[in-house]
Amino acid sequence: MPRLFAGGVSGLSVGLCLVILSHPAGATGPFQAPAVLPDAPGKAVVERICLGCHGAEVIVPARTLPVWRETLELMKGFGAVATDEEWTTVHTYVFSNLAALNVNRASADDFAALFLLDASAATSVVAHREKSGGFRTIDDLKKAPGLDAARVDAAKDRLSF
């Protein structure tokens, strides 16, 4: 019998939505999902909140930040239970460790979410991109003010140009 979530949504309904949402159609780069969730701050919270309803294979497919935002809101709507602080942790973990990003189309908010930048630094990255005519390579991106080269390297498989 399907497990029921808050609001009467069945586990079967959640599963069908997850199959649809896990398709990496929103991904723009060559990102390949890791076999397991990356070790990073917040992993235990993500495992506790998310893996109670589905496996990690549903969490790790490449999705863009906007698709991840919609997915997490959908999961809340299906009854995933977490405090506001835990949701913030889930968002931060997922955005900074799993999301795919086209660096030539990304907003300052997207840069901030993926690279854990403050608003000023993220705005500087976008301004640098506009001034330089876009990023062609990882090395171009690393030249943007406010970006940490190690973070760029860590995300390189999730970035497209």
User: Which DSSP string do the residues of the chain spell out, in sequence order?
Assistant: -PPB-GGG-BHHHHHHHHHHHTSGGG--S-----SSPPP-TTHHHHHHHHTTTS-HHHHSS-EEHHHHHHHHHHHHHTT----HHHHHHHHHHHHHHTEEEETTT--HHHHHHHHT--HHHHHHHHHHHHHHT---SHHHHHTSTT--HHHHHHHGGGEE-
pLDDT at 44 over 60: yes
Contact 115, 152 (CB under 8 A): yes
β-bridge partners, 97: none
pLDDT at 14 over 70: no
pLDDT for 53 = 86
Q: What tokens were used for 161?
A: 């140009």
Can you tell me the distance from the alpha carbon of 37 to that of 56, in angstroms, rounded to the nearest whole number? 7
pLDDT digits (tens, 9 = 90+) for 106-125: 999 999 999 999 999 999 99
pLDDT for 18 = 43
- Give the model's confidence band at 90: pLDDT under 50 very low, under 70 low, under 90 confident, else very high: very high
- Give the model's confidence band at 35: pLDDT under 50 very low, under 70 low, under 90 confident, else very high: low
139 contacts: CB under 8 Å, gap ≥ 6:
none
Output the pTM of the full model.
0.76
What pairing do the DSSP bridges indicate for beta strands 159-160 and 63-64? unpaired
Can you tell me the distance from the alpha carbon of 144 to that of 61, in angstroms, rounded to the nearest whole number? 28
